[in-house]
């Protein structure tokens, strides 16, 4: 019985030391100030390298990626871009439901020509977690948190 008591005391001391050393380093990481480029508190990235700062941004960016891929697919098939979102239905994973420009906290705007297109996503309320987005036929998505995004806005990474 003495031996089991010594083992219990030793294990308790080890566990206590482990907690004392580990907890301060974890709380220091959690309390680090967030930079403006970081996600809103509580937002969990949807994939490695997710550039979204909120669930609303993640949905807007996902919609843009689907439209960009559908346009690429459409262009390969018909040798020109779709001029309306309705033309994109069944191109790639673009569905009839996606023609609706009301996308939750965002509104989509699409202007298509046979040789080019512009897609924008404008938030109802613009802030650091609800940036505006812009894309054209080069497939790069641009973002801006202070004004409507355009081709000169920084590219989303």
Listed by start position, the domains of the chain span 55-144
- Pick from 117, 108, 109: nearest CA to 75: 117
Question: pTM for this structure?
Answer: 0.75
pLDDT in tens, the chain (157 residues): 566 555 545 545 544 444 444 444 444 444 333 344 556 678 999 999 999 999 999 999 999 999 999 999 999 999 999 999 999 999 999 999 999 999 999 999 999 999 999 999 999 999 999 999 999 999 999 999 999 999 999 999 8
Cβ neighbour number for residue 117 with a 10 Å cutoff: 23
């Amino acid at each position: 019985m003495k031996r089991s008591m010594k083992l219990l005391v030793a294990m308790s001391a080890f566990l206590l030391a482990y907690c004392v050393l580990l907890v301060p380093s974890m709380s220091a990481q959690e309390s680090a100030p967030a930079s403006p480029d970081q996600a809103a508190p509580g937002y969990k990235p949807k994939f490695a390298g997710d550039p979204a700062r909120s669930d609303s941004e993640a949905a807007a960016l996902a919609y843009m990626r689907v439209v960009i891929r559908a346009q690429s697919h459409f262009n390969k098939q018909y040798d020109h871009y779709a001029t309306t979102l309705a033309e994109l239905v069944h191109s790639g994973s673009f569905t009839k439901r996606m023609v609706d420009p009301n996308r939750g906290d965002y509104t989509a705007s699409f202007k298509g020509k046979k040789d080019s297109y512009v897609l924008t996503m404008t938030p109802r309320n613009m802030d650091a977690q609800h940036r505006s987005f812009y894309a054209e036929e080069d497939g790069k998505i641009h973002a801006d948190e202070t004004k409507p995004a355009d081709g000169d806005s920084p590219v989303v990474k």
